[in-house]
Amino acid sequence: MIKWVVCKAKAITSPPFFLLWDGRRIMRTLIIGDVHGCRDELENLVEQFGFVYGKDRLFQVGDMITRGPDTLGALELARDLGIQHVLGNQEARLLRTLAIAPKLRKKKDCEFLSRMQGYEKEIAQHVRDWPVWMEEDDFFIVHAGFQPGILHPTQMSPHVMVHVRTWDGQGVDMNHAYNPAWYEFGAWEKTVVFGHWADRGLYLADGFRGLDTGCVYGGALTGWCPEEDNIYQVPALKNYVENQSAEYQQLEILLG
Ligand SMILES: [Mn+2]
């Protein structure tokens, strides 16, 4: 049985030091939630964490692009910092949209591409190689979630891993207010770190770390350090998008 803890982030004002008995510093890791073009918040979070280039490592759960103020700037900063990403649904949509012949693109496709500041092809080239999931010694990283009932991500549907919020037993409707969340079906052998569900906010439970705290909606950008089991968080500098998608609003109405 999973015990849910909805946590307030610990306020960490200065980075802790991690020195071994002989003075060597241990490697630290930060896994960062959905950035959506919030470049300045990404910089602030990495600074708050006390990232040391060449010693620490940075991961990010996908959805780097669109909605926010500076997709290009965020991607450039991530590249300079050596951040490793998994593919989010926004990156998947970019690749899917560019695969449509220009003449056959619909208005919503063109609107979506226009958010790439004229660099949609370069951005696509950059995100094309991002994996759908990653496995490290102590955790998995995936954008949306894992497929219930399947032991290892090699056997799962990539479409589910990039999009799932709720589970209907099949993966047909993956965002329905009356269905349970994908993570309510039990944990995996390692902690699953994910994003994608801003209106659920920060979720910390045994075997799960949900990190999308809606930075682009005026929330916060959140990261989790597995070595310390600490949450790092910086506030959004602005409310970049008035509200969440109609999808979210509908969900709230359904939930009453
Ligand atoms: Mn997403």
With CA atoms as reference, report the closest residue to 188 among 243, 133, 130, 119: 133
Spacing, Cα 14 to ligand 1 middle (Å): 30
Spacing, Cα 88 to ligand 1 middle (Å): 6
- 16-20, 31-35, 178-182, 230-234, range with the lowest pLDDT: 16-20
For 189-238, where are the alpha helices, taking DSSP H only? none
Spacing, Cα 16 to ligand 1 middle (Å): 31
Spacing, Cα 21 to ligand 1 middle (Å): 42
**In degrees to the nearest 10, what's the CA dihedral of 238, 166, 246, 3?**
-40
**In degrees to the nearest 10, what's the CA dihedral of 89, 129, 34, 78?**
-150
Would 11 be classed as within a structural domain?
no
Spacing, Cα 19 to ligand 1 middle (Å): 36
Spacing, Cα 91 to ligand 1 middle (Å): 9
pLDDT band for position 2 (cuts 50, 70, 90): very low
With CA atoms as reference, report the closest residue to 251 among 175, 186, 180, 181: 175
Would 4 be classed as within a structural domain?
no
Spacing, Cα 71 to ligand 1 middle (Å): 15
Beta-carbon count within 10 A of 31 CB: 27
Spacing, Cα 87 to ligand 1 middle (Å): 9
Exposure letters 63-80 (e unless 16+ CB within 10 A, then b):
bbbbbbbbbbbbbebbee
The protein residues having their C-beta less than 5 angstroms from ligand 1 (an ion) are 63, 88-89, 196
Total tally of structural domains belonging to the chain: 1
Residues in the chain: 256
With CA atoms as reference, report the closest residue to 193 among 152, 136, 151: 136
**What CATH number did the domain enclosing 41 receive?**
3.60.21.10
Would 135 be classed as within a structural domain?
yes
Write out pLDDT tens, residues 8-36.
Answer: 344 444 455 566 666 677 899 999 999 99
Spacing, Cα 7 to ligand 1 middle (Å): 21
Would 12 be classed as within a structural domain?
no
Would 115 be classed as within a structural domain?
yes
Q: Are strands 208-210 and 203-205 parallel, antiparallel or unpaired?
A: antiparallel
Write out pLDDT tens, residues 44-80.
Answer: 999 999 999 989 999 999 999 999 999 999 999 999 9
Spacing, Cα 60 to ligand 1 middle (Å): 12
Would 7 be classed as within a structural domain?
no
Would 1 be classed as within a structural domain?
no
Q: For the chain, what percent of residues have pLDDT higher than 90?
A: 82
Would 9 be classed as within a structural domain?
no
What residues make up the domain containing 90? 27-255
Asked whether 9 and 231 are in contact (CB, 8 A), the reply is yes
- Can you tell me the mean pLDDT for 222-234? 95
